[in-house]
Amino acid sequence: MPGDHNESNRNIASFALALVVATALAGCSGKAEQSKPVARNEARPAPPIPAPATPFGNSVEPSAYIHAGRFTADVMEPTTPPRAAELIARLQQAARKNPEWFREQVKLVKPGEPLPYDPRLGMSQAEYEDFLAMSRQMKMQKRGEVEISITSKGDGVYALDGGQRLPDLTGVEIDAVRREARTPYGVARGQAAFNASDDSALGAWNGVEWKLTQFDPKTNTGASVKVAIGKLHPSGRAVIYYNVTKADSSGKARILLVLNYDPGARL
């Protein structure tokens, strides 16, 4: 039905934006190497010096990044240059035009890496290079503060609670033993460690992440979920990242939460 097709296109567009934010937060220093720029006259600035490969050691244990207690957390939101916002809109339009191709491309890239260049992305190769550079300029700004609670339920399970001000966080659980993140939208598995460099939207940070990607093109339903916990370098502030795009018979859900807090400042 036309309405279903339009809803599917909106879901794909939301996922395209989520991919941009996830790439910006990953801040991989080599991600511009996915495609080669065309010859240009102007000189390009030298790439930023990456953060140490393992600024907090190489622990992949979730328990190293999660802390029980009540905390005052900074709520962060992304900001982008005006030109980047225009190119993001074009990427979303391209994703709506070729949804099946776009989903397949997303499956092929590693976490934190951009899509390789293809004309179907809706921009020239030079524009895509500029887009990747501007994605690295995306920064997270503090929007406010909120009180969150992290409860240890035993057996390595930590329950997150955002209270009335941040209800989307409530219901998320980190299982450090099973190495998975349980959410109201499904269980994210496939735990992976990461080190994000200085040019990420949050700056240098490292930690662990879990992903869930399920989509049924026949029913235009499914979910994309990513949960990550980590530490900022060099401050040591803890980070919680929660990104959801979901579509079902009741409609669609779009959640993006980026929080950081001082693990030593319990309320």
Among 17-26, 79-88, 220-229, name the one with the lowest average pLDDT: 17-26
Q: pLDDT of 174-230, one tens digit each?
A: 999 999 999 998 999 989 888 888 878 888 899 999 988 887 766 767 788 999 999
The secondary structure element, H or E, covering residue 223 is strand 221-232
- Of 267, 263, 266, give the one whose Cα is nearest residue 65: 263
Average pLDDT of the chain, as a whole number: 78
Q: pLDDT of 134-180, one tens digit each?
A: 777 777 889 999 999 999 999 999 999 999 999 999 999 999 999 99
For residue 68, the SS3 value is coil
Q: What is the 3-state secondary structure (H, E, C) of 117-160?
A: CCHHHCCCHHHHHHHHHHHCCCEEEEEEEEEEEEEEEECCEEEE
Q: pLDDT of 28-45, one tens digit each?
A: 433 333 323 333 333 333
- Average pLDDT on 226-238 reads 93
* Cβ partners under 8 Å of residue 25, min gap 6: 112, 140, 196, 200, 201, 202, 241, 258
Rounded CA-CA distance 39/121 in Å is: 20
15: phi then psi, degrees, rounded to nearest 5: -65, -35
